[in-house]
Amino acid sequence: MAKPPIHTIRFGLIQVSIWRNHTKFGDRHAVTASRSYKDGDLWRESARFGRDDLPVLAKALDMAHTWIYQNNHTTEASDGE
């Protein structure tokens, strides 16, 4: 069974998930973003975003960035994380 994300940020149909990867160099984080949509009776997810999704996606990604920095308890090199 796959591990769940360590944190999820959701605004309406937009969701950003933060994943922790344990490496020999310490913890690293990855972020995935998706948009939910309904296909008939089924809910699906897409990694494609429309024009009106972008401001919400940008806010969710900014919040993910802040969460990673506030919750990163290991010393990381300056590698963009």
Tell me the pLDDT tens digit for each residue of 43-81. 999 999 999 999 999 999 999 999 999 998 654 444 444
Structure tokens at 75: 């010393």
CB 28 within 8 A of CB 80: no
pLDDT single digits (tens) 14-39: 999 999 999 999 889 999 999 999 99
Say whether 52 sits in a helix, a strand or coil: helix
Q: What is the predicted pLDDT for the residue at 72?
A: 81
> What residues does each domain of the chain span?
7-71
Look at residue 6 in the predicted model and tell me its pLDDT: 97
pLDDT class of 2 with cuts at 50, 70, 90 = confident
Model pLDDT, residue 74: 54
Residue carrying the six token digits 């948009």:
35
pLDDT for the residue numbered 20: 95
Which residue shows structure tokens 């998706």? Answer: 34
